[in-house]
Amino acid sequence: MVVKVYGTAYASPKRVLVCLIEKGIEFETVPIDLIKGEHKSPEYLQLQPFGAVPVIQDGDYTLYESRAIIRYYAEKYKSQGTELLGKTIEERGLVEQWLEVEAQNYHPPIYNLTLHILFAPALGFPPDEKVIKESEEKLAKVLDIYEDRLSKSKYLAGEFFSLADLSHLPFTQYLVGPMNKEYLIKSRKHVSAWWDNISNRPSWKKVLQL
Amino acid sequence: MVVKVYGTAYASPKRVLVCLIEKGIEFETVPIDLIKGEHKSPEYLQLQPFGAVPVIQDGDYTLYESRAIIRYYAEKYKSQGTELLGKTIEERGLVEQWLEVEAQNYHPPIYNLTLHILFAPALGFPPDEKVIKESEEKLAKVLDIYEDRLSKSKYLAGEFFSLADLSHLPFTQYLVGPMNKEYLIKSRKHVSAWWDNISNRPSWKKVLQL
């Protein structure tokens, strides 16, 4: 069964794509145009009532929320492709901890930067300079804590690549690329080495080529 | 080994307590006074570098982020106490989806309401009426989607109580209690029945008595 992934032009669905590639799972992509409002169509809202991307369909199983989808496939295909949840329950606990840190601490400021720097023009509202400044300060503080963590272990959850690292790829790519804020990463030695490492994985390069 | 749970006077750590009670796991509580800034002490930051509650210590294993901790214990003690992750990988997928909905859609507006209505005076800043109004509107829209979902299944992830429901308990308790906004729940038939059901579980009543 080929997995259908909706909305893959955007960042969050790319979490799902990189996970599927790491696990060696076949998929096809279904475009959803947020600018045209396709995520608010009645058909789409049947799949994802909050009108967000991504959604996956896998036979008659439908699932949304990118971090839920990547946990589902990492568990369902545990013994296939890259192990993304750690080997023990204790390692998985740390993967979950850093996935939550990404979702609760890293994502809100980087999402605000993305929205106000990259998408405000297309969405027709003026970028809020105060939000941009505060978000960058918040993100810098989070990255200081990452720097300390990554001085002690190669990856966020330990000595193994996991969903916790993977989940950072799409929005950090916006940060170092179109947002021109690579200095936030490069100025921190261990964060910089970690980013070079995870962003050079063949799975991520493949996602960027899609 | 008795699990030590830090900061249990506050809402997020109560997610951990209700989970431990559902699973029949012994614990002791360690008070952390946020008003006095105990979460910013060097000792505490060693345990939780972001300065947030809760943290648990279980022997030499330390874990933070409430939703990571509840996943850890629900998995570690899968066959003990209440099954909180569903019986199949597909059920767990839906538990993860609704845990993410709670974290990403439900929590931000209810957290803002809590901060501006309940904690602004103690924290010494004036409540922002615009934030309060917008947060209530956002929460109401999320609850409309919950109403539809709960008209089709007894609990969020299906016909079984799970971490997804449990994770809503602490902040919704603030909403219906000290915030005097019970009408947001009571005005929605299926949300109201779900709340009556989950908030009357012996585990939650025990947390409220602690």
Give per-residue pLDDT as tens, B153-172: 999 999 999 999 999 999 99
Residues in a beta bridge with A28? A4
Q: Give Dmax over CA atoms of chain B in angstroms.
A: 49
Distances (CA, A) of A189 to A101, A153, A193, B51: 20, 13, 6, 23
pTM for the model = 0.97
Q: Which CATH superfamily is domain B3-77 in?
A: Glutaredoxin (3.40.30.10)
Instruction: State which residue of chain B sits closest to A72, comparing Cα positions.
Output: B93
Tell me where in chain B the CATH 3.40.30.10 domain(s) lie: 3-77
The answer for residues whose C-beta is within 8 angstroms of residue B31's C-beta and 6 or more apart is B7, B8, B9
CATH topology of domain B89-201: Glutathione S-transferase Yfyf (Class Pi); Chain A, domain 2 (1.20.1050)
CA distance B96 to chain A (A): 5
Considering only CB atoms, which chain A residues are within 8 Å of B89? 72, 75-76
Tell me where in chain A the CATH 1.20.1050.10 domain(s) lie: 89-201
pLDDT digits (tens, 9 = 90+) for A92-124: 999 999 999 999 999 999 999 999 999 998 888
pLDDT digits (tens, 9 = 90+) for A157-204: 999 999 999 999 999 999 999 999 999 999 999 999 999 999 999 999
Give the whole-angstrom CA distance, residue B110 versus residue A33.
Answer: 30
Is A75 within 8 Å of B89 when comparing Cβ atoms? yes
ipTM: 0.97
Amino acid residing at B107: H
**A157 within 8 A of A164, measured Cβ to Cβ:** yes
Considering only CB atoms, which chain A residues are within 8 Å of B140? none
Nearest to B73 by CA among B11, B26, B32, B6: B26
Q: From the list A50, A61, A92, which residue is nearest B145 (CB)?
A: A50
Q: What confidence score (pLDDT) does residue A200 get? A: 98
